[in-house]
Structure 1
Amino acid sequence: MLYGRYEITYEHAFDEGSIVSEDLYRKLMFGKLEIDEGMLIENIVAQMLNASGHKLYFYSKSSRIDSSDRMEIDFLISKASTTNRHNICPLEVKPGKNYTLSSLKKLMAKYDNYLSTSYYVLHDDDLKIDEDGIVYLPLYMTPLL
């Protein structure tokens, strides 16, 4: 489409070589796409963290023997200010209303002395701090970390 002196083109996200059908976008727009939406939210958070100057790290530990030793943390970020503790902050991304924090709580129990005093969960709800010291932030507050 030509507008003045500039040509405006409309390109679809996820369109790899113009193979994406309109049906895919219709499903995406109406929430009927059978994909892991958490994956998309994690990618958005990764982009916001990267744009804010954070290097992206994650933590994963697997064990075939002891299931209580298995954990996966979405992001580890370092805070600029250091205290008498390390400045590494674990960050979990939890879109939706029903989620568990088993990996975060395992990490807190095992490595509490090595982590910052801040533990973050980015979610779809309002700001809150629970009795464990976990700070729940709305997703849109990610660039403020």
Structure 2
Amino acid sequence: MNRTIDNPQPAFPRRIDHGIALLRISFGLMLFAHGFVLKLMTFGLAGTAGFFESIGFPGWTAYAVFAAETVGGLALIAGIGTRWVSVAILPVLLGALYVHLGNGWVFSNADGGWEYPLYLVVLAVAQFLLGAGAWSLDRKLALEQAPA
């Protein structure tokens, strides 16, 4: 079935569902990894707070960022509150972008470049626009309606 003026449905709706799920789950995994694995398991929250203070942020923000990335990542993986999480995580991602701006574009620069935080901002906006998709708790619990 092809998309026409008379039939606006996409030719491969299941593939669209696959793509949305892949984006949502991989974005959630990345947030969870940066929150739980990196900030808690690798550096520890006290160490992360010390780093935040060294770059001019209050130490307490490390705990808020840890919670946002960890809980937000798990919510995205499950597909619950997807649009809300995608918007709520933007201040964290924009903060990371701000921190990396002086490092240049490429990840191989000292302290990492700003291209990756910018990419995560784009992912958050894309996920907000797409919603949770068919394979999500948002859809199963009727928190998000299927496209007409």
Give the TM-score normalised by the residue count of structure 2: 0.27
Q: Which has the higher strand share?
A: 1
Give the TM-score normalised by the residue count of structure 1: 0.28
Quick check: which has more Rg, 1 or 2?
A: 1
Q: Which has the higher helix share?
A: 2
